[in-house]
Amino acid sequence: MIYDVMIIGAGVVGGAVARELSRYDLSVLALEKESDVCCGISKSNTGIIHTPCLVKGPSKKAEYNLKGNLMMDRLCSELGVVLQRPGALVLAYSEEERETLQAYKEQGIRSRKTYGAPDEEYRIIERDELLSLEPNISSAVICALLTPDAGRIIPYELGTALWENAIANGADLLLKSPVQAIVRPEDDGSPWTVRAGEKTYRARFVINAAGHGSEEIGRQAGFTPSVIEKVKGQYLIYRRERDFDVNHILFQVPSKGQGKAGKGILVCKTVYGNLMIGPDARWVGDSDDRGTDKESLEEVLEGARKSIPDISSKGVIKTFAGIRPKPVDGDFIIEASDRFIHLSGIESPGLTSSPALAEEVLALLRKEGLDLVPKHSFREKREPIVREILDLDKEELKRRIELPDHEEEQIVCRCEQVPRKRILDAISRGIRVDSLDGVKRRTRAGQGQCQGNFCGGRVRKLLARELGVPEEEITQRGGQPLGDRISRL
């Protein structure tokens, strides 16, 4: 079969493109090397929907970040993904940094004008007002820029939802299918040929959304390679209960030279109320180098304490790292030639930008000659995975944990109070989920205080039963090697 469009890479960018394509009367195939969607950059990042104030323009990043930010509320509502907009505060510690805040504010206003977005109220607030918003802020902070347009999501929840919806609308996704070779077509309009594992696939149009794998794939397709550095960032996640609160997403004006590496160490809560701090920035040689280390975690802690001095290592339940694909030229790489769209260097704010990037990819496909005929059967809505947040008292929790296995109300994960029915719902949505991590990302089973010690075996048993395979076949990461090393402070 010759597909109309093939997508290489099932991260959030590939997912946004797949969903857009599934609006049209096209055959779409996606190839992903991992055993699940969103196992690459889209799994391990901060999950912030960025304000245009912090994205330097004019640039592709500034344009797609702003457009993506504006599209995000509708997209998340259609897909049943939780998006919160607590707003961000960029903290300044000196009069010189106050001037940087002014520059950020002007950047946000300028970007909105340039890309035709409605105005937003960006304000530099003084310490008194700041204290009323964030009572636990460091005494060294003199003022802050308040940007109401910053938000947060769980990045892999958006990615998974995009893929589920694309599949429900007819797209095909093949997991565990690493693309190894690409054969350019002749000039006669014949299809591209792509080899993944033992198999060969053909498509008239190809989109390279392979994250860290993009450069190699682009090179094979005939694109001039770019220099993409790998910058690792580490994070600490805390249990929900703590003695102090954080209401906004807290950034700091980066110290000199630090701005090049990223947006600096931030402090915020996740959508589920866990405190999260990070990331630092270290250049590494390998995109699989996702372990955490004590030195970086200490640096993150020290950086976070500059914003909220009460933060310590008490209450940490998890550490993780993500790797940014940082193009030395600074901007996203988006190129099109011979019915092939090449995306590379999609670092931060790639998550925020993803819906706008998808629109751009479709525009490029159209220019390359793809007919986009709307499909009347397209369904934009995806029901959220059963999400009721339970707050059971000890006795009821114990009773529900002990319910027999066929009872959907049985609690599988004690810490996050995840009922069996949520897991059953999550694994029956068109993507084969065959790992503990796959269940964890979709349902939160294993995301609590004990990090899966209690529920790991129970989830394994449930998955094995539902998939009809022996329990030994259910692994933490779906047969992938255990690459991440986790250090605790």
Contacts with ligand FAD by CB under 6 A lie at 8-14, 31-34, 39-42, 45-48, 50, 178-179, 209-211, 213, 217, 233, 279, 322-324, 346-352
Burial of 468 (0-12, 13-18, 19+ CB in 10 A): exposed
Q: d(Cα 432, Cα 324) in Å, to the nearest integer?
A: 28
Provide the token pair at 4: 């109309």
Q: d(Cα 19, Cα 9) in Å, to the nearest integer?
A: 14
Q: Provide the minimum distance between the beta carbon of 111 and ligand FAD in the complex, in angstroms, as a whole number.
A: 15
Closer by beta carbon to ligand FAD, 193 or else 449: 193
Q: Provide the minimum distance between the beta carbon of 295 and ligand FAD in the complex, in angstroms, as a whole number.
A: 17
* 50 belongs to the catalytic site: yes
Closer by beta carbon to ligand FAD, 214 or else 410: 214
Q: Provide the minimum distance between the beta carbon of 210 and ligand FAD in the complex, in angstroms, as a whole number.
A: 4
Closer by beta carbon to ligand FAD, 48 or else 144: 48
Q: Give me the residue whose beta carbon is nearest to ligand FAD.
A: 350
Q: Provide the minimum distance between the beta carbon of 266 and ligand FAD in the complex, in angstroms, as a whole number.
A: 8
Closer by beta carbon to ligand FAD, 34 or else 425: 34
Q: d(Cα 234, Cα 296) in Å, to the nearest integer?
A: 7
340 strand-pairing partners? 206, 337
Q: Provide the minimum distance between the beta carbon of 339 and ligand FAD in the complex, in angstroms, as a whole number.
A: 19
Closer by beta carbon to ligand FAD, 92 or else 351: 351
Can the peptide bond before residue 148 be classed as cis, meaning omega within 30 degrees of 0?
no
Q: Provide the minimum distance between the beta carbon of 171 and ligand FAD in the complex, in angstroms, as a whole number.
A: 15
Closer by beta carbon to ligand FAD, 74 or else 465: 74
Of 301, 291, 297, 294, the closest CA to residue 321 belongs to: 291
Q: Provide the minimum distance between the beta carbon of 47 and ligand FAD in the complex, in angstroms, as a whole number.
A: 6
Closer by beta carbon to ligand FAD, 88 or else 474: 88
Q: Provide the minimum distance between the beta carbon of 167 and ligand FAD in the complex, in angstroms, as a whole number.
A: 15
Contact assessment for residue 16 and residue 161, using Cβ atoms and an 8 Å cutoff:
no
Q: d(Cα 233, Cα 250) in Å, to the nearest integer?
A: 17
Please state the three-class secondary structure of the chain as a single string. Answer: CEEEEEEECCCHHHHHHHHHHCCECCCEEEECCCCCCCCCCCCCCCCEECCHHHCCCCCHHHHHHHHHHHHHHHHHHHHCCCCECCCEEEEECCHHHHHHHHHHHHHHHHHHHHCCCCCCCCEEEEHHHHHHHCCCCCCCCCEEEEECCCEECCHHHHHHHHHHHHHHCCCEEECCCCEEEEECCCCCCCCEEEEECCEEEEEEEEEECCHHHHHHHHHHCCCCCCCEEEEEEEEEEECCCCCCCCCCEEEECCCCCHHHCCCCCEEEECCCCCEEEECCCEEECCCCCCCCCHHHHHHHHHHHHHHCCCCCCCCEEEEEEEEEEEECCCCCEEEEECCEEEEECCCCCHHHHHHHHHHHHHHHHHHCCCCCCECCCCCCCCCCCCCCCCCCCHHHHHHHHCCCCCCCCCEEECCCCEEHHHHHHHCCCCCCCCEHHHHHHHHCCCCCCCCCCCCHHHHHHHHHHHHCCCHHHCECCCCCCCCCCCCCC
Closer by beta carbon to ligand FAD, 270 or else 447: 270
Closer by beta carbon to ligand FAD, 228 or else 415: 228
Q: Provide the minimum distance between the beta carbon of 385 and ligand FAD in the complex, in angstroms, as a whole number.
A: 20
* Residues designated catalytic: 50
